[in-house]
Amino acid sequence: MNLLRTTVALSAIFAAGAAFAQDATGITVWADANRQPAVEAFIAAHPEVPVNLVVDDGSSGASGTFQTKISLADQAGEGWPDVVFSTQNNDAAWATKETNGVQAFAQVLNEGFLGEEFLKGFTPGALDPVTVDGKVYGLRNDLAPVLFWYNKTLLDGFGYAAPTTWEEYQALGDKLAADHKGYFLGGIGDAFEGPYIYYWSGQAPIFQLEGDAFKSNTTDANSVKVSNLIDHMVANKSLTLDSVFGASFVATAANLVAIPGPAWYAGALFQNPGGVNAKAGDWVAAPPLHWKDGEKVTGNVGGGVWYASSHSANPEAIKTFLQFIVSDPKVAGTGGLPAYQAAADAWLDGQVASGFYAGDFKAAINTAASSVWNGWGYPNFSPETAWAKIITPGLVAGKTMKDLSADWQQEMKNEAQVVGYTVE
Amino acid sequence: MTTLDQSTARSTTSGRKAKGQRHSIERAQGRMGTAFVSLYTLFLLAFGVLPALYAIYLAFTKKGAFVGIDNFLKVFKDYRFWPAVEHVGIFLVVWLIMLVILVVLLSLLVHSIGIRWLSTGTRFLFYIPGALAGASSVMLWLFVLDPTVSPVGFLLRAFGSTSLVDAVQVDRLPFVLAVIAFWTGAGGWIVVMYGALNNIPKDVIEAARVDGARPIRIAWSIQIPLMRKWIAYMVIMSFAGGTQLFVEPRVLSQASRGVVGQDYSLNQLAFLYAFKQSDFNGSAAISLMLLAVALGLSVYFVFKGGLFERV
């Protein structure tokens, strides 16, 4: 009976979407609530293109909304939207492939659809996750390289230097645990922090793709180093098991000394009254942490993507929309670091001018943006589901990464197999 | 005047004519019945029978070609299938036992309350949670289950849970889901059972009382046996609904940051097959298995509970 309710609700949404999609002049856009102001700015700037905005969850937390709804439309043979926003950057893995005889959903955006000049305006490497065999299937909304954020006022007060390597980060945790109980260095309570911030930045080969082969190795030297770091810092409580967006994290946010995290923490965490709600001048965005003897690389947490539909009856309107949404200096990046270079420069200048962050904000972001480790794969599933299923409850129950790594690796491999990858 | 004449004429008509009239009333009622049922039948065909036939077609084919039981074999080999069967199985056992015992007990208690307003008030209270839709009642339970905000946080902490993630650990989940389902559904069944208890002739109870039977004895030897059909009906309906567990774990999954897996129940797995793997055939195979099991057990309970026996 519950399924029936869901089906009825879904069908109602589809009926509404489908009715609009047949309108020859307008476009239907699926995006999450964070993107809504940008879409509204487009509507104000381009009244000649009617937009039907359908707000969804942007597939956050690997919920799969985008793929689910497209599968339904594929099965029904109608009801596709014209433009879709997704917070995940692995959708190209399925959206570029024909499914059950229905053409691939994602429109190829280079090779004549959008001008080469326009596409060259993206930060180098920004379109890599959505490029398959030289074809560009989506436009990045924002870049999300992992930086190292620290509270200068607190560190200076304690008389500690800001860490630049993972080893120093761990040592700082020991000092805090010994001398300043209750102060901490981040959290791994969400499913994204572990894989993207710690393992990806730590150059751990746990989520790799070679052709159709999925690889994960939690016993690699770097993987073990990251696991040990997490276990050590969870044990001395310098890493919390709370979600960084949860009530208990926010309640203790005044004791947060430093945290590695993506560029979008700027707006979503620090300058958010419901988050850390930082005071101007306290926080510094520093270049990413790296292993003392390792390469200077970092991880990446999302950075949404805009896709166009290959089924659309209105490609011209789509072109206008996409170019505006990723490159307009006022809305591009939707609060994060825009993937479009010119818009990114404008955004960075604005951040520097506001003086909110101490230190060289622009240099730190640029260093991070150009050093994302390219050894991470974008298969048709997310490392977040396996993390949430095995690691989150495991750590809460008092187990360690050392205990859980093998199960976690197996779960990722199982997931890979189910969606059709070969696994060693 | 004419009306009076006619009615007088009618009242003095012969027995043969009266019989004909009765027939015409029965015919009219029959027509009305058919009209009501036909609407239902239409919906049943459109949303029940035809999709089921389509599922049967999908389950035994792949890209339109007949493949025998390949889809079923593939599902059996899926590493998520047996854990999902186990999850749903444990949930059903916990929930159905809880439902049968507590609903019967509560309805007997409510029925024995002599004060009219108290009895009505209690039934109404029991029924309220049932008026909430599945998803919204889960939202409410999210707050109840999170020890940091829960009004019964002390109880959760007594069981060793310090966070929502801890409260919905996989081994606790069947109980959590059973409690949610009971809270949502039991009220409606208590009202139904109350109706069943009202149907038991008063003189039977009187006779037992005269013979010296105490309330417990009356409940055990008279009321419960006479409620047998209704209990069977409740078990069938609840079993069919329970095997389709979907909304509760799905909402919990999103709220618990994925700790409750997206593949927790069989219906969720069918959903993933269809919409994550674009394998509608595998999805149909899972649905068909659910249908077969629910149908089989329903038949068992229908005959065991004497549901189709005429009184």
pTM of the model: 0.81
For residue B86, with 0-12 CB atoms within 10 Å meaning exposed, 13-18 middle and 19 or more buried, which class applies? Answer: exposed
CATH classification of the domain holding A153: 3.40.190.10
**Are B53 and B173 part of one and the same domain?**
no
Residues B122, B128, B129, B134, CA torsion sign: positive
Nearest CB partner across the interface for B277, out of A72, A389, A419: A419
Asked if A392 lies within 8 A of B63 by C-beta distance, the reply is: no
Residue of higher predicted confidence among B133 and B127: B127
Q: Would you state the pLDDT for residue B5?
A: 45
Contacts of B253 (CB under 8 A, 6+ apart): B259, B260, B261, B262, B264
pLDDT grade for B16, boundaries at 50, 70 and 90: low
Q: Would you state the pLDDT for residue B168?
A: 84
Cα A400 from Cα A240, distance rounded (Å): 13
Asked whether residue B311 is assigned to any structural domain, the reply reads no
Q: Would you state the pLDDT for residue A127?
A: 92
Longest Cα–Cα distance of chain B, Å, equals 84
Q: Would you state the pLDDT for residue A53?
A: 95
Which tokens in the block code for residue A70? 């497209």
Which tokens in the block code for residue B302? 């229908």
Residues of A with CB under 8 A from a CB of B: 1-6, 61-64, 67-68, 71-72, 74-75, 94, 99-101, 189-191, 241-243, 247-248, 381, 384-385, 387-389, 392-393, 396-397, 414, 418-420
Asked whether residue B11 is assigned to any structural domain, the reply reads no
Q: Least CA distance to B250: which residue of chain A?
A: A63
Nearest CB partner across the interface for B267, out of A3, A64, A384: A3
**Are A275 and A206 part of one and the same domain?**
yes
Rounded mean pLDDT for each run of 10 residues along chain A, 424 residues in total: 44 45 74 93 95 90 85 90 92 88 93 94 90 93 94 96 97 96 94 95 95 94 97 96 88 94 89 88 95 95 93 94 94 88 92 89 91 91 91 92 96 92 90
**How many residues are given for chain A?**
424
ipTM: 0.73
Q: Would you state the pLDDT for residue A370?
A: 86
Asked if B134 lies within 8 A of A2 by C-beta distance, the reply is: yes
Asked if A2 lies within 8 A of B245 by C-beta distance, the reply is: yes
Q: Would you state the pLDDT for residue B51?
A: 93
Q: Give the residue numbers spanning the domain of B177.
A: 77-304
**Are B148 and B276 part of one and the same domain?**
yes
**Are A307 and A325 part of one and the same domain?**
yes
Residue of A6, A244, A384 to mutate, interface with B, max B Cβ within 10 Å: A6
Out of B5, B32, B59, a domain closes at B59
**Are A39 and A168 part of one and the same domain?**
no
Cα B219 from Cα B226, distance rounded (Å): 10
Tokens 């393992």 correspond to what residue? A199
Residue of B95, B236, B276, B290 to mutate, interface with A, max A Cβ within 10 Å: B276
Nearest CB partner across the interface for A397, out of B78, B169, B241: B169
**Are A117 and A186 part of one and the same domain?**
no
In contact, A98 and A306? CB cutoff 8 Å: no
pLDDT digits (tens, 9 = 90+) for B183-219: 888 888 998 999 999 989 989 989 999 998 888 899 9
Mean pLDDT confidence for B30-38:
88
**Are B196 and B48 part of one and the same domain?**
no
Cα A69 from Cα A81, distance rounded (Å): 10
Out of A354, A373, A392, a domain closes at A354
**How many residues are given for chain B?**
311
Q: Taking Cα atoms as reference points, which of B79, B56, B251 lies closest to residue B168?
A: B251
Residue of A59, A396, A411, A413 to mutate, interface with B, max B Cβ within 10 Å: A396
Asked whether residue A374 is assigned to any structural domain, the reply reads no
Contacts of A19 (CB under 8 A, 6+ apart): none
Q: Would you state the pLDDT for residue B6?
A: 46
Asked if B247 lies within 8 A of A6 by C-beta distance, the reply is: yes
**Are A169 and A137 part of one and the same domain?**
no
Q: Taking Cα atoms as reference points, which of B138, B123, B146, B99 lies closest to residue B198?
A: B123
Cross-strand bridge partners of residue A285: A149
**Are B124 and B41 part of one and the same domain?**
no
Q: What is the DSSP string of A253-281?
A: GGGB-EEEEETTHIIIIIT-TTTT-PPTT
Which tokens in the block code for residue B46? 């459109």
**Are B127 and B179 part of one and the same domain?**
yes
Domain count, chain B: 2
**Are B159 and B25 part of one and the same domain?**
no
How close are the terminal C-alpha atoms of chain A, in Å?
41
Asked if B278 lies within 8 A of A71 by C-beta distance, the reply is: yes
Report whether pLDDT(B73) > 50: yes
Strand order in the sheet with A283-286: A258-262, A146-151, A283-286
**Are A323 and A225 part of one and the same domain?**
no
Q: Give the residue numbers spanning the domain of A107.
A: 2-143+302-354
